[in-house]
Amino acid sequence: MWLEILLASVLGFVIYWFASKDKEETLPLEDGWWGPGVRPTAGEDESIRPFKVETSDEEINDLHQRIDKVRLTPPLEDSRFHYGFNSNYLKKIISYWRNEFDWRKQVESLNRYPHFKTKIEGLDIHFIHVKPPQLPSGQTPKPLLMVHGWPGSFYEFYKIIPLLTDPKNHGLSDEHVFEVICPSIPGYGFSEPSSKKGFNSVATARIFYKLMLRLGFQEFYIQGGDWGALICTNMAQLVPSHVKGLHLNMAFILRNFYTLTLLLGWRFGWLFGYTKRDMELMYPFKKIFFNLVRESGYLHIQSTKPDTVGCALNDSPVGLAAYILEKFSTWTNPEFQDLEDGGLERKFSLDDLLTGVMLYWTTGTITSSQRFYKENMRLDNKHEGIKVHVPMGFAAFPCELIHVPEKWMKSKYPKLISYSYMPRGGHFAAFEEPELLAQDIHKFMGLLERQ
């Protein structure tokens, strides 16, 4: 008992000492070329070109032929989603995909927002750019960059966009009206993949910063979850004077002494600033730890040899769907593993889920999207040790893969001004709970402007 108290006290002092070192440091901006071959001597074409999502009979027929030839392995009795995607429920997905899912209709839905492409650092960057349909008198829209993660896409933001660009007509205050830009990470969907090794989150952040400048925004707001959270964090580390505010619904707190408090926190949470809600979300530690291990198998594969599994997934639409949609089950709620259908249709429609899969299938980008893990899982990531000195807001969704307490957040983001315990929701916040996320973004903006 006394030894535990002594260890906790020493650890608390060490944390305080490191947290008090608040040196403002930024990442070097640098430059890059990720297109094929050698960088041309001529200047890059900076034009912004309209883009439209399209499909064809050939594309749809090929999909159907591959679906028709699927081979499935029967699941174990009473296995539900404990062994991964249950093939009995997968049969329902396959039947709907083959016989009822209307890809042409979904393409029309994708095109309801304006799409564009532009060349940056040798890559064709895809993005949607949605302006407010109307503005209150004397008000200008706030430019907001929203960045997705894996295995998501720009489509995750389709339901939250109206709540940000046209809040009054969707039950929210029009005190803050946004102009929303949602790019596709290079190698995801319609953004061209890198031809060279080393393309990581910092390179992506720099490209998205250049995109915002190209669109005429010298100052802007940014929001993200999953890889989007890291990319937005890197943007704030690269160009803090251009980022007016940062809002996240996931955070990567790695090189931080607070993480060492996990084993002692169940006894001395009060000493480390943990709230009652923090304790509920982090303990019992054994359960949380094994849940994280169970859900991170993909991480080890994609961080080491992404191209190997990519060969299989890029060749089989059914395999791709199982691999992706499993994440939309247990990452939305870990308890969904106990259900025969993985709980998928409790939060999402099959049309929305399959549209997300189709954005990987039709573009052939599952392998390039997985390479992003290998490029970012390095021991020499300088950004992990750099604090973020821009105003920041955080939405802590209870079913996120790992809970990050406010104390942890402040050690990395000292200008945290808004921290919210969300009442429900998991990893795919904008896709699953657009109203809750939009409300928290509006709340953050209100606090930011009152500062």
For residue 185, the 8-state DSSP code is: P
Residues in the chain: 451
- CA gap 377, 242 in Å, rounded: 27
Catalytic residue (choose from 126, 176, 383, 427): 427
Catalytic residue among 89, 373, 413, 419: 373
Catalytic residue among 176, 221, 226, 247: 226
Q: How far apart are CA 147 and CA 156, in angstroms?
A: 10
427 in active site: yes
CA distance 38 to 223: 33
Q: Please report where in the chains the tokens 């915002």 appear, as a residue.
A: 212
Q: Where are the alpha helices (DSSP H) in 121-182?
A: 161-165
Q: How many CB atoms lie within 10 A of CB 305?
A: 12
- Catalytic, 373? Answer yes
**In what helix (H) or strand (E) does residue 60 lie, and over which residues does it extend?**
helix 57-68
Look up 226 and say whether it is catalytic: yes
Q: What is the residue whose two structure tokens read 């564009």?
A: 116
Q: Pick from 45, 161, 3, 101: which is nearest to 350 by CA?
A: 101
Cα 126 to chain centroid distance, Å, stands at 17
Beta bridge partners of 275: none
Active site (catalytic) residues: 226, 373, 427
